[in-house]
Amino acid sequence: MASSSSSSFSAAAILAFAVVLGVFTGGSSANLSTSFYSKTCPMVFTTVKSAVRSAISQESRLGASLLRLHFHDCFVNGCDGSVLLDDTSSFTGEKTAGPNNRSIRGFKVVDDIKSKVEKVCPGVVSCADILAIASCDSVVILGGPSWDVKLGRRDAKTASFSAANNTGFLPSPFSSLSTLISGFQVKGLSTTDMVALSGAHTIGLAQCRTIRSRIYNDTNIDRSFAKLRQSKCPRNTGGRKNLAPLDLQTPTAFDNKYFQNLINKKGLLHSDQELYNGGSTDSLVRTYSNDAKTFYDDFVAAMIKMGDIEPLTGSSGEIRKNCRRPN
């Protein structure tokens, strides 16, 4: 009796320990640290920030584009800089996969940041970490919250077109709420994380081809808002690349207006409006729409969790010299 109960106790203890370690949460076991470059590249923060600031001062959308690159990096085989790799003779990269093709952008800014960082600390800072730092800087520069970015990711030597093209990895704007929830769950992110991270759509733009079915066919949309968007996005053909702001009120400010739009049935993407459509996330959207501080707190916590998804650390991967290609 005693031995069987003690062995079932230790099995339970091991299980609990594994859960604490994050073995089952797909990412919180990441071994990253906010002080990773404190001895090897203390200049990294000021260097990245001034490059991001100069990019945003030329085109404010670039802040949004950098934030989205970090998300698309982390959701495809972890935050390993793979999204930045150009195609090579040995692999097709992620840039032309469905959710990315003709949509993700900001690569020249990343090159510029990387070359400035290489000047102050050659061969030290990974491209994956640059995306994480630049995302935080973008949010701050556009008026949002700040946080201590965890660092120490290394760069992948390869990229996966097929993983990036897999609709189960990067969420589709045509998804239902339950698909959005399960897609984030697979990455170790909760429903709260998913809703808070969707608040990134308080900045940036989307193409006509992405919103056509929403503005012509969805019924949970404000009619005057739909008409406004239809004026630059014809029903049948043409205008595929015409752009519309994800947040119609303050498209270049990181604030909680995105959530107010959802309450008013003015979400731009079908997936945005799914978060406030009579389902389980309505109350959280209402909270964020009234309370920017709670949105910011949850957004920061979720960004840190997202940045922890399956990084390469220790001696895995490499520190790329050029973010577009393996060394």
Ligand X SMILES: *[C@@H]1O[C@H](CO)[C@@H](O)[C@H](O)[C@H]1NC(C)=O
Q: How far is the CB of 210 from ligand HEM (least distance, A)?
A: 4
Rounded-to-integer distance, Cα 263 and Cα 24, Å = 34
Partner from ligand X, ligand HEM, none binding residue 205, C-beta < 5-8 Å depending on class = ligand HEM
Q: Is 270 a catalytic residue?
A: no
| Geometric angle at alpha carbon 185, from 182 and 189, rounded to 5° | 140
Rounded-to-integer distance, Cα 270 and Cα 224, Å = 16
Partner from ligand X, ligand HEM, none binding residue 213, C-beta < 5-8 Å depending on class = ligand X
Q: Identify which of residues 165 and 273 has a Cβ nearer to ligand X in the complex.
A: 165
Nearest to 68 by CA among 269, 181, 202, 214: 202
Rounded-to-integer distance, Cα 246 and Cα 1, Å = 62
Interface region with ligand HEM, contact rule CB under 6 A, candidates 51-59, 152-160, 195-203, 247-255: 195-203
301 is a site residue for ligand HEM (CB under 6 A): no
61 is a site residue for ligand HEM (CB under 6 A): yes
210 is a site residue for ligand HEM (CB under 6 A): yes
Interacting residues with ligand X (CB under 6 A): 31, 96, 98, 101-102, 165, 167, 212-213, 216-217, 235, 313-314
Burial classification of residue 11, based on how many CB atoms lie within 10 Å of its CB (0-12 exposed, 13-18 middle, 19 or more buried): exposed
Rounded-to-integer distance, Cα 70 and Cα 231, Å = 32
Which one is catalytic: 70, 72, 201, 270? 72
DSSP result, 62-92: HHHHHHHHHHHHHTTTSSSSGGGPPP-SS--
Burial classification of residue 52, based on how many CB atoms lie within 10 Å of its CB (0-12 exposed, 13-18 middle, 19 or more buried): buried
Give 172's DSSP letter. Answer: P
Rounded-to-integer distance, Cα 213 and Cα 270, Å = 8
Q: Which of residues 107-166 bind ligand HEM (CB under 6 A)?
A: none
Interface region with ligand HEM, contact rule CB under 6 A, candidates 59-67, 78-86, 212-220, 279-287: 59-67
Task: Please answer whether residues 319 and 126 qualify as being in contact, where contact means their C-beta atoms are separated by less than 8 angstroms.
Answer: yes
212 is a site residue for ligand HEM (CB under 6 A): no
Partner from ligand X, ligand HEM, none binding residue 35, C-beta < 5-8 Å depending on class = none
Q: Identify which of residues 163 and 263 has a Cβ nearer to ligand X in the complex.
A: 163
Partner from ligand HEM, ligand X, none binding residue 103, C-beta < 5-8 Å depending on class = ligand HEM
Catalytic residues, which ones?
Answer: 72
Binding site for ligand HEM (CB under 6 A): 61, 64-65, 67-68, 71, 103, 105, 171-173, 175, 180, 194, 197-198, 200-201, 203-207, 210, 246, 269, 271
